[in-house]
Every structure is written in structure tokens, then in C-alpha cells.
Chain A
Amino acid sequence: MISIRSVYPRQNPKTTEDNNMGKFNKGGKKEMPALNSSSMPDIVFAILFFFMVTTTMRSETLMVRMKLPTASEVQKLEKKSLVTYINIGPPMETRLGTGTQMQLNDRFAQVSEIQDYIAQEKASMNEADQPLMTVSIKADEETRMQYITDVKQALRQAYALKISYSARQGQNK
């Protein structure tokens, strides 16, 4: 059996300290004591948990360009799990043109596909949360209202009646 002591030789603390007992430590080598960093992981873990709780994973990559309109009376959307996003704007890739496109879940979609999308999102939710579902419309400020209205009508048909026009907090210019 291999003794562990051979790997970690235990120092006898008396040998170093007791020799200096009662003397002033004049001259000689003064060694900088090592900082006790054993609480460092605890602190970092605390920060880590804070970030894990307060943030959400970036779930989708934006495929449309959008500059949200500004508004001063915005309300914060609480409970991210209840929010479904619809992104509207010109496509990020310029070769796809500058026409208004809609992005649902990582792909471009037509307005007619909204109903299926909402039904899908609703089905993946807790049954008690379904009536609280909010659809956040994130649209570029240059979008024509015709498009928004079509989306709104589709949402009505899908019974997703709680909506939010996403806007940045700030004064209108």
C-alpha cells in the first residue's frame, strides 16, 4: 500500500514558526504570504448563477434587418417563456432584395404560415399558460402598415390576441 503521505509530505508547523518565537524579524528574507484564493471559485460561481438566472439563451439568429421604432410609454414584457416573436423587416442578405420579409423560427415565412406557427408554439406551452401567451411583433420602422395589418389579422384568426408592438424606450425623433 502506498502511503499518501509520501506524495503530500506533511510539514510540521512547529519547525518554522517556533524558532522565531519572541524575536523581532529583523533582516532576513521576508516572504510575501500567498493570498488565500480558496473563496475565488465561490465568488465566480455566484456570478455564474446570477448570469444563468437573469439571461436567456440566444435562441435564433436574426435574418431580417430591423430598427425598432421608439416609444416612451413602453412596458416590459415579463416571463420570456410566454412570449413568441415575429420578426419583420428587409432581409439581412442583400441578394434577397429589400422587400419586407417575415422570420419565424430561423426561416422566412409567409403570412399564411402564422396560424400554424402560433398553434405549434401554443402546443409546446403549459396548458395553464396558453391564454397568457403574448406575441411580440418586432418590425422595422419603415415597414408598411399593410404588412403589419395582415399579420394582425392572421394573429386574430389564430386566437393569439395578446400582442405587443416591440419598441425601444426613448423619445421619438
Chain B
Amino acid sequence: MAKTTRKVPALNASSMADISFLLLTFFLLVSNMDVDSGLARRLPPPPQTEEQTTVDVQRRNLLVVLVNSQNETMVTNQQGTEWYTNAEELRGTGSKVALKDRVKEFVLNTSNSEQLPELTEEDFGPPIGIVPVTDQHVVSIQNDATTSYKTYIAVQNEVVRAYNELREEGARKYFNTSYDELTEDQQNQINDLYPQRISEAEPKNYGGQ
């Protein structure tokens, strides 16, 4: 045969679509899209020795949130005690002060009250500058052995909401935008200003089983 320039015939690629559709359906079936979401927490490291290491906290710096076996919530600090019997009251729909507002008042201590955590001046860098903050405050969430997980999460959620609202207010005040639109450094600045100081203590069996 004479040496001529032979053309390579085009491959029949019509089945390519079928093959790739097959792959696509396979991946659609075996994969899941849902992103897991939740309330992030940090646990304290385990006690190093047999004797429990306890940190002494002044009474005024402590806000105790106790969820009992009847799923009622008691919030107590030096200012007084408040009872919430259900989730609606926690959110402040009743006549009671919402839990988040109590937490916010506790963390801010705008009135420099003796009953609320002590204020110390700290430098947070521009544009926040030197502001008084309650850097020693602790929100201690305690629960009973038979508390339901649902109520516990609801209480946790309200406390986190208080911090989130404080951060949002801080962002509006110092950076004039919402917290989500800040850069990472600015967000860290705000987080340093209002750190989440939530302690999860071991439960106490108050009411019995």
C-alpha cells in the first residue's frame, strides 16, 4: 500500500455520556451532603493526680446554671436566684428575664456592681483600646444525672447565644459592621474581648434518681 497520510478515525464517544451518568448516579447514591453542625465546646484536661484540682473562684465571679432532674433551670449568682421551668421561660417569653440577658448582664457588669464580676482594664489593641472587662467570670453549667439531653442543649444554646450577641454588639460598636463580616484578626480581637468562659463541671446527684 502506498504511504499516504492516513487519517485516524474519530472514536465513537456516544456511550461516554452513558458511562459518566452511571458514575454520577453511583456517587449520588453512596454519598451524603449533610454537613454536621453542633455546639463546639472544650473540655478541661483530666485531673493529673488522684486529688481533684480545683480552681478557687470568687463568689461574685460565678454564675451557676443548674439543670435539675425535672428539667428545670436554676440560675444563681450573688445578685439572686431565678427559676425557669421550661424552654419558653429560658428565652424570656414569660415575665422573667431571659437567661441570655442575665448572662449578658453578668459578663458585662456595666454598672460596676459589687454583686457582679470584678472589672479589670485590659488593652485589646486598636480600635478597641483599653476597656474594662470581667476577665475572671465563669459561667458554670451543672446538671443532674437524669437531666434530659434536650434541656441541657437548650440551656447551652442560650448561654452561647448570649456570647454571640455580645460579640455582635462589640463588632457593631468598634468596627461598625456585623461580626460575620470582620476579618479573622478582628474576630479574634472581639473573641478576646468576650471570651466564652463556660465551665462544665461534673454532675452532682442532688435529688436522687
To the question of whether A and B form a pair in one complex, the answer is: yes
Question: Would A56 and B32 count as touching, CB distance under 8 A?
Answer: yes
- With beta carbons under 8 angstroms apart, the residue of A41, A139, A159 that contacts B13 is A41
Question: Would A71 and B154 count as touching, CB distance under 8 A?
Answer: yes
Chain B residues within 8 Å of A172, by CB:
87, 91, 154, 157
Stretch at the interface among B33-41, B56-64, B177-185: B33-41
A105 in contact (CB, < 8 A): no
B144 in contact (CB, < 8 A): yes
B42 in contact (CB, < 8 A): yes
Question: Would A73 and B39 count as touching, CB distance under 8 A?
Answer: yes
List B residues 12-61 near A (Cβ within 8 Å): 13-14, 16-17, 19-21, 23-24, 27-28, 30-33, 35-46
Question: Would B148 and A141 count as touching, CB distance under 8 A?
Answer: yes
* Known contacts A41-B13, A146-B145, A149-B203; A55 and B43 CB within 8 A of each other: no
* Known contacts A69-B153, A77-B35; A156 and B45 CB within 8 A of each other: yes
A40 in contact (CB, < 8 A): yes
Render B136-158 as a binary contact track against A, CB cut-off 8 A, 1 for contact: 00000001111111101110110
A4 in contact (CB, < 8 A): yes
Question: Would B36 and A77 count as touching, CB distance under 8 A?
Answer: yes
- With beta carbons under 8 angstroms apart, the residue of B13, B150, B200 that contacts A152 is B200
Question: Would A74 and B39 count as touching, CB distance under 8 A?
Answer: yes
Question: Would A52 and B27 count as touching, CB distance under 8 A?
Answer: yes
* Known contacts A55-B32, A167-B153; A142 and B148 CB within 8 A of each other: yes
B119 in contact (CB, < 8 A): no
Alpha-carbon gap, A145 to B67, bound state (A): 10
Chain B residues within 8 Å of A167, by CB:
37-39, 153, 157
Chain B residues within 8 Å of A163, by CB:
40-43
Alpha-carbon gap, A37 to B21, bound state (A): 14
CB A71 to nearest CB in B, in angstroms, measures 4
Question: Would B35 and A76 count as touching, CB distance under 8 A?
Answer: yes
Alpha-carbon gap, A75 to B38, bound state (A): 6
CB B198 to nearest CB in A, in angstroms, measures 12
B160 in contact (CB, < 8 A): yes
Question: Would A77 and B32 count as touching, CB distance under 8 A?
Answer: no
Question: Would A149 and B39 count as touching, CB distance under 8 A?
Answer: no
A155 in contact (CB, < 8 A): yes
Question: Would A141 and B153 count as touching, CB distance under 8 A?
Answer: yes
Question: Would A156 and B46 count as touching, CB distance under 8 A?
Answer: yes
**Nearest chain B residue, comparing its CB with the CB of A8:** B9
Chain A residues within 8 Å of B164, by CB:
73
B161 in contact (CB, < 8 A): yes
B202 in contact (CB, < 8 A): yes
Chain A residues within 8 Å of B160, by CB:
73
| 18 new A-B contacts at CB < 8 Å, known A51-B28, A141-B150, A165-B156 | A4-B6, A37-B14, A47-B24, A58-B30, A69-B150, A71-B38, A71-B39, A72-B161, A75-B38, A140-B149, A141-B148, A141-B149, A144-B149, A155-B43, A156-B46, A164-B38, A164-B40, A167-B38
